[in-house]
Structure 1
Amino acid sequence: MTAYAVAHMRQVTPGPWMVEYLEKIDATLAPFGGRFIVHGGEVEVLENDWPGHLIAIEFPDRQHARDWYRSPAYQRILELRTDNSESDVIFVDGVEHPHKATDVPG
């Protein structure tokens, strides 16, 4: 089942770290079938507040997402992000299609 690595990045400190991180992350995703589906950009807030940026990366399944995050290639650049931003990062599974709201497990 498709899975997603989702990050809510806040309080990002701009600098050369960002360029290095962005230049290197794509190569860490490729071996695990990862691809960006949301990468920052302007959000339209409809309810409450949304400080920061949203990033979502799609993987073939949760194991691929875990393997990417734990990979030596990603671990080498991880501190570039964690030292220069506040981020919440989660893995979440997608849904099988077709999916209805009532299909949520109880």
Structure 2
Amino acid sequence: MTAYAIAHLRPDGPANEEVLEYIERIQSTMDPYGGRFLVHNTPVEVMEGGWPGALVILEFPAIEAARTWFASPAYQELAPLRTRNMAGDVVLVDGVVRDYDPRSTAAALRAEVLGPGAVV
């Protein structure tokens, strides 16, 4: 199942040489794990709440590939170039199957809260 690395980054200032080097080198750390950018350096359109900073979404073929990439020596060597220059939150998450139906999640949550067979 496809998995994603999602980062909400808040730069401390304009891009400096360390940040530029990080951007130039990150793809080579992802290549062995099948990673690719889906969102990078694209303005967000805030519909609710606030969103200071930037959004980055990386796609991997599976959650284990994303975990292995993040823990890899190549990425861990590179990461300080980013972390020294911007605060951020990074999460890894599994995607859903192609034919995912949110009603099945609602039914499971309803059963969990109200008991099996509960109808509201």
TM-score w.r.t. the length of structure 2 is 0.83
Higher relative contact order (CA 8 A, sep 6+): 1
| Counterpart in the other structure of 2:117 | none
Partner of 2:50: 49
Unaligned regions of 5+ residues in structure 1, if any? none
Shift of 1:12: 3.6
Larger radius of gyration, structure 1 or 2? Answer: 2
* Corresponding position: 1:60 with 2:76: no
Task: Give 1:3's aligned residue.
Answer: 3
The residue identity in structure 2 corresponding to 1:7 is A
Distance 2:27 2:11 in 1: 23
Residue 68 of structure 1: CA displacement?
0.3
Instruction: Give the distance between the partners of 1:34 and 1:74, measured in 2 at CA.
Output: 12
- Paired position in structure 2 for 1:37: 38
CA displacement at 1:102 relative to structure 2: 1.7
Give the count of matched residue pairs. 106
Aligned-residue CA RMSD (Å): 1.2
Distance 1:49 1:72 in 2: 34
Query: After TM superposition, what 4+ stretches of structure 1 lie above 6 angstroms from structure 2?
Result: none
Superposed CA offset, 1:52-82 (max 9, x none) = 1000000011100010001111011100111
In 2, Cα distance between the equivalents of 1:103 and 1:43? Answer: 30
What's 1:102 paired with? 103
Q: Distance in 2 between matches of 1:23 and 1:37?
A: 16
Deviation (angstroms), 1:15: 0.7
Using the TM superposition, give the Cα deviation of residue 40 of structure 1 relative to its aligned residue in structure 2, in angstroms: 2.3
Match of 1:87?
88
- CA distance in structure 2 between the partners assigned to 1:103 and 1:79 by the alignment: 41
Identity among equivalent positions (%) equals: 46
